[in-house]
Amino acid sequence: MRMKMMRMRRAGAERGYPGSAWVCCCWLLGWQAAALQLPPCEETDYHFEYTECDSSGSRWRVAVPNPSAECSGLPDPVKGKECTFSCASGEYLEMKNQTCSKCAEGTYSLGSGIKFDEWDELPAGFSNVATFMDTAVGSVENKADSCNNSSWTPRGNYIESNRDDCTVSLIYAVHLKKSGSVFFEYQYIDNNIFFEFFIQNDQCKEMESTADKWVKLTDNGEWGSHSVTLKSGSNILYWRTTGILMGSKVVKPVLVKNITIEGVAYTSECFACKPGTFSDKPGSSGCQVCPRNTYSEKGAKECTKCKEEMYYADEGSSACIERPPCTTKDFFQIHTPCDKEGKTQIMYKWIEPKICREDLPEALTLPPSGERQDCPPCNPGFYNNASSSCTPCPPGTFSDGTQECKACPAGTEPALGFEYKWWNILPGNMKTSCFNVGNSKCDGMNGWEVAGDHIQSGAGGSDNDYLILNLHIPGFKPPTSVTGATGSELGRITFIFETICSADCVLYFMADINRKNTNVVESWERSKEKQSYTHIISKNASFTFTWAFQRINEGQDSRQFINDMAKIYSITVTNAVDGVASSCRACALGSEQSGSSCVPCPPGHYIEKETSQCKECPANTFLSIHQVYGREACIPCGPGSKSTKDHSACFSDCLVSYVTDNQSLNYNFSNLSQVGSLMSGPSFTSRGTKFFHFFNISLCGNERKKMAICTDNITDVTLKDMVAESEDFSNFVGAFVCQSTIIPSDSKGFRTALALQSNSLADRFLGATVETVLENISIKTDMFPPSPSKIPDVHFFYKSSTVTTSCENGRATVVTMRCNLSKPDQGELSVPSACPAGTCDGCTFYFIWESAEACPLCTEQDYHEIEGACKKGFQETLYVWNEPKHCIKGVPLPEKRTSTCETVDFWLKVGAGVGAFTAVLLIALTCYFWKKNQKLEYKYSKLVMTASSKECELPAADSCAIMEGEDNEEEIVYSNKQSLLGKLKSLATKEKEDHFESVQLKSSRSQNI
């Protein structure tokens, strides 16, 4: 207890904590001792400390009694070293004489620094604070309780962060007398956990040096380093992590080790070497690790050997471990290289280092080796040439691996690449290794072993080893004949694999571009059936592909999952710069002067089968990136799209036409060609963390440039740097449609919103049409509410070439453009109400963009004319839009038209005059004919009366005689049947002749005569 108190007090002095209380206590105890006449103090009864520095930078050395000491006569205070004084590394300040002395054997010193490299428990001065920052959902109390078990956990050589979505801070406070620095090593491989390091002063304000507080990601299995300058005074160091559990995957924790702080004013004692290390020389600034099969205790000057027959010890061990009996988990089999007879032998080997014993009961012995089997054939592009080894075919030749290399026929060229499907030896451009973050057991071991028709993960030294397999490709280049196909694909890598696991194993597939940074492309957890995976290469650069297999994430003392393994059956790489050929492909021939050598076709040209000459693709077609032989290599563009000048791809120029009901609808989406953005949500994780889905959409135009950019901001790489070398960064995505996950600033207590998990949803434009299906991509009619107008929606279809485990055919995107005059300019973007994330299956995304700019262009059929009244000889004609209006721009509304006209008053006068004349004429005629009618009636009556008197005078006659010149009575009946015109003519004629009218009377008698 006394030693602990002394160390705490010395540590307090080293960190510069106030020491005035110790001075007062010293004088008080001295006074009491004098009063009680205690025995004089010896050197073991007290220790020296420095007082707090004054304004002049000076201090005093005072003697402080130990807690259990009871004595009198402490040494008087003396002036101490200046406050900025410090010893060199390997030395400490001997307080009695105030001089620097070398550390003894078994100890070390950093001089003006302190180092934390022992993490069996949380060192003194460190603390954990766990919180759940998001209070948007649920009660604060419940969430606070849910993080009680979250903390940074010591793991021996390093300390490990939390794995959940709590925010956990590892805190250490230090007071520096002069400016210094903090340095630490870390491993940070999972961008689903946020890792930040920052510094605050004693006023809880962040220091200026923490402007870039985000720590860079590291490659799998590699340790990175981070250092920050510290100012004199109080510095509170924070290592803070926050996990974001967006799916079922568990985040990989952050590992930190070897925390070193420089700037401490002095070190009054040396640090003992931790167990498993030693220091055999005075004045050491560090300790060495004990070799294998040796051990050491704390403060050791040398390591002690184990009895190797019964015990073993790994490097850096603090004790020897008893060797267990050998089991099947302690050996493995390999295949030897082929001999001259074409045979390979199956050999069994102990896993090195061997830690088991064969002489114990129930222990297994090594199975006999030497079983001979036929060697597998050479891989395509290689040939053994009657030897035991396979060699690559010379340039310009090809082989399927079983026959000799042959030259490609005229008019063809070798299709270069690699196809590894037989695994007798590891190919020359591949290497394997083993790595463990916590120990060096498997250093130098093979991470993977060849096994005939496959290559499988090796045994390793621990179950949490990273078993690594690398494949290096110096570059990618299409064949000569495909040079004109300037698409986004330069090559591809395809591999067939399976994992057999009983625990939580993980297989990572990673890619490194130009040896800058290794990024995880895809990962598979637990057991997976035999399957294929393809990764597209879009940049001509040096690539290193890595497969890393880990059985379990946490280390264990015993091997339990050694039989868990990953198998890779074949790896195929196309268009590799230094590749070999298994076949030949047709190419374009040059002119007669150049002979039969292959020549590159210009961009957008295919090879004509009949002549083997280059010919340009027809308009609105693009050249296939997989083959350029034959007219079928030119693929027609989809509806509403056109090809680029070099026929490399199809794009939308924002103009779409559609004919319906004998009416042509023309759309122009140019004003929507700028990137549109949409933030959907919020959504919540299973633990209640709030997040949003952020989308950027580059609809059309821009000469097929992918203007939508999504980027992660949890990095200290600036956006400017990412744009300069965008393809080298996995957190920079350029596409037609891209997506990011946004964590709002109020969700986790960060100063700014965080963007992560950026990915491309569309990198190829398929077409724009009013149809709901295009290239097996369909949109349901009930996906969005029906349109209130009769104007059809226009659907833009896109496709992404990125293949994921959940989307074997890649992702697809449909953007529906809907006419809505109430939403001008950019309008409004939205997602289906049933799918707030924009997708219901994770593979096909749907958006609707409502805007007035999505309406068709106006035509002559969209307006009508209205004629005005004629005023003062002029008439106006107006033009108005049909209601409701469903068009914009296009044909403008004609201006008002004015024309001459006859006034209404003139025609009324003419009409009145004609009417009056007609009325007078009719009245006159009526009167005239009425008078004539009266005369006729009078004459007729007179005639009848005359005929009646004559009939009485001649009773014997059948009928009365008719005077000469008079007409028969029957004629009167006949004449009554004449028309009015006939009567008028008849009357006029009679009056002119004799002013009398003769009427013929007919009787039955006259008829008989």
pLDDT tens digits for range 506-531: 999 988 887 766 778 888 988 999 99
Q: What secondary structure does DSSP assign to 19-81, as a single string? A: -HHHHHHHHHHHHHHHHHTPPBP-GGGEEEEEPPP-TTS--EEEEEE-TT---B-PPPPEE--
Give yes or no for residue 743 having a pLDDT over 90. Answer: no
Per-residue pLDDT tens over the stretch 753-768: 677 778 888 888 999 9
- For residues 402, 408, 412, 413, the Cα torsion angle rounded to the nearest 10 degrees is 80
Residue 526's contacts (CB-CB under 8 Å, 6 or more residues apart) are: 499, 501, 504, 505
CA dist., res. 108 & res. 269, Å (int): 9
**875 in Cβ contact with 677 (< 8 Å):** no
β-strands 812-819, 844-851 pairing: parallel
More confident residue, 612 or 866: 866
**235 in Cβ contact with 204 (< 8 Å):** no
Q: Which residue has the tokens 């005929």?
A: 947
Per-residue pLDDT tens over the stretch 771-788: 999 988 988 888 888 888
CA dist., res. 719 & res. 472, Å (int): 29
Percent of the chain residues past pLDDT 90, beyond the cut: 15
CA dist., res. 481 & res. 483, Å (int): 6
pLDDT of residue 306: 94
Per-residue pLDDT tens over the stretch 925-946: 898 888 888 888 888 888 888 8
Reading the block at residue 358, the tokens are 């064969």
CA dist., res. 743 & res. 586, Å (int): 52
pLDDT of residue 107: 93
pLDDT of residue 719: 36
Residue 238's contacts (CB-CB under 8 Å, 6 or more residues apart) are: 169, 170, 171, 196, 197, 198, 199, 200
More confident residue, 160 or 132: 160
Give yes or no for residue 814 having a pLDDT over 90. Answer: yes
Per-residue pLDDT tens over the stretch 207-228: 555 456 778 888 766 788 898 8
More confident residue, 308 or 749: 308
More confident residue, 258 or 727: 258
Q: Classify burial at 191, counting beta carbons within 10 Å of its beta carbon; exposed 0-12, middle 13-18, buried 19 or more.
A: buried
Residue 917's contacts (CB-CB under 8 Å, 6 or more residues apart) are: none
Per-residue pLDDT tens over the stretch 410-445: 778 888 899 999 888 888 899 998 887 766 667 777
pLDDT of residue 246: 57
pLDDT of residue 606: 84
Residue 683's contacts (CB-CB under 8 Å, 6 or more residues apart) are: 690, 691, 692, 693, 836, 837
Per-residue pLDDT tens over the stretch 463-487: 888 899 999 999 888 776 665 445 5
More confident residue, 870 or 76: 76
CA dist., res. 103 & res. 94, Å (int): 10
CA dist., res. 459 & res. 454, Å (int): 16
Per-residue pLDDT tens over the stretch 8-62: 334 444 434 344 444 444 444 444 444 457 888 888 888 888 887 777 778 888 9
Distances, alpha carbon 764 to alpha carbons 486, 767, 845, in Å: 14, 10, 14
- For residues 584, 585, 586, 592, the Cα torsion angle rounded to the nearest 10 degrees is -40
Give yes or no for residue 917 having a pLDDT over 60. Answer: yes
